[in-house]
């Protein structure tokens, strides 16, 4: 089992733990964002209302 | 949807029908021609500078620094012979020893954005994350150009002004 001593970073949009900000890659970014939410913000991807066809 | 649309068009009598298999997003990301109201709004691919300074991995910092400054920039995109983006040299990276190679000095794997991304969206992102410029690339990572925050803000202002003018025309 490995333990990390580095502080965790969470996406400001979805609260998931991420390695770092996908937008600026600045470890001290005040509004880190994950790749998925970045694609939503730039409209390169569209959030799906549900995970399966309906 | 696209294959079914293609078959349907053929059944309606169209004889020059093509189905772009990679899909709409790939077409947009490649900066290919589009139509419609949104196509009139400048995007990142149109606003970026295709002649922004670039460097290759085996060059040395001293030479590249001079070239970048002569071009009026403080940032340089590192590309390979296919113009695929490999890294970025921000001002702090350009400050190293003249003999340092670009491969050693650069920040590898920078975040990039597709040509079809809206300039207003990028201007806001760049302000929120304090980013002075971003590389714009195709889906294959080929550099289209560098978009500075100044340029993004300028184009975003023009867009807002144009939208306001259209709104005012509708009102009267």
Q: Cα–Cα distance between A17 and B57 in angstroms, integer?
A: 33
Measured between beta carbons, the chain A residues lying within 8 angstroms of B130 are 24, 26
Interchain CB distance below 8 Å, A42 and B117: yes
Per-residue pLDDT band at B98 (split at 50, 70, 90): very high
Which residues of B lie closer than 8 Å to A, measured between beta carbons? 25, 29, 107, 110-111, 113-114, 116-118, 121-122, 125, 128-131
Residue A23 is nearest to which of B111, B116, B118, comparing CB atoms?
A: B111
**Looking at residue A54, what is its pLDDT?**
46
Q: Cα–Cα distance between B121 and B152 in angstroms, integer?
A: 9
**Looking at residue B34, what is its pLDDT?**
79
Q: Residue range B104-114: average pLDDT?
A: 94
Instruction: Render each residue's pLDDT in chain A as its tens digit; 54 residues.
Output: 555 556 679 999 999 999 999 999 998 999 999 999 999 888 887 777 665 554
Measured between beta carbons, the chain B residues lying within 8 angstroms of A22 are 111
**CA of B151 to nearest chain A CA: how many angstroms apart?**
17
| Secondary structure, 3-state, B90-104 | CCCHHHCCCCCEHHH
Instruction: Say if residues B73 and B48 touch (Cβ distance below 8 Å).
Output: no
Site of tokens 């996406």 = A11
Q: Residue range B114-126: average pLDDT?
A: 93
Instruction: Say if residues B1 and B25 touch (Cβ distance below 8 Å).
Output: no
Per-residue pLDDT band at B102 (split at 50, 70, 90): very high
Model ipTM? 0.74
The answer for residues whose C-beta is within 8 angstroms of residue B50's C-beta and 6 or more apart is B144, B145
- b/e map of B28-54 (b: 16 or more CB within 10 Å)? bbbbeeeeeeeeebbbbbbbbbeebbb
Q: Are strands B133-137 and B143-148 parallel, antiparallel or unpaired?
A: antiparallel
Measured between beta carbons, the chain B residues lying within 8 angstroms of A26 are 129-130
Interchain CB distance below 8 Å, A24 and B107: no
Measured between beta carbons, the chain A residues lying within 8 angstroms of B122 are 42
pLDDT averaged over every residue in chain B:
91
**Looking at residue A53, what is its pLDDT?**
53
The answer for residues whose C-beta is within 8 angstroms of residue B48's C-beta and 6 or more apart is B115, B136, B144, B145, B146, B147, B151
Interchain CB distance below 8 Å, B111 and A26: no
Instruction: Say if residues A34 and A18 touch (Cβ distance below 8 Å).
Output: yes
Instruction: Say if residues B73 and B52 touch (Cβ distance below 8 Å).
Output: yes
């Amino acid at each position: 089992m490995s333990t990390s001593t580095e502080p965790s970073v969470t996406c400001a949009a979805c609260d998931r733990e991420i390695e770092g900000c996908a937008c600026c890659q600045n470890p001290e970014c005040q509004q880190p964002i994950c790749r998925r939410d970045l694609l939503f913000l730039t409209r390169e991807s569209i959030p799906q209302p549900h995970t399966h066809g309906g | 949807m696209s294959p079914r649309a293609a078959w349907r068009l053929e059944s309606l009598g169209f004889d020059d029908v093509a189905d772009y298999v990679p899909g709409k997003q790939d077409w947009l990301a490649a900066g290919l021609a589009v139509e419609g109201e949104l196509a009139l709004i400048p995007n990142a691919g149109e606003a970026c500078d295709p002649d922004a300074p670039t460097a290759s991995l085996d060059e040395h910092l001293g030479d590249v620094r001079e070239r970048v400054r002569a071009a009026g920039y403080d940032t340089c995109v590192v590309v390979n012979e296919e113009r695929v983006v490999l890294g970025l040299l921000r001002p702090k990276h350009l400050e190293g020893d003249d003999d340092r190679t670009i491969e050693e000095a650069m920040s590898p794997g920078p975040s990039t954005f597709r040509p079809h991304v809206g300039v207003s969206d990028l201007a806001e992102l760049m302000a929120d994350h304090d980013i002075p410029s971003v590389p714009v690339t195709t889906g294959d990572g080929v550099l289209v150009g560098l978009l500075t925050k100044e340029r993004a803000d300028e184009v975003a202002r023009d867009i807002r002004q144009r939208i306001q003018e259209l709104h005012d025309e509708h009102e009267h």
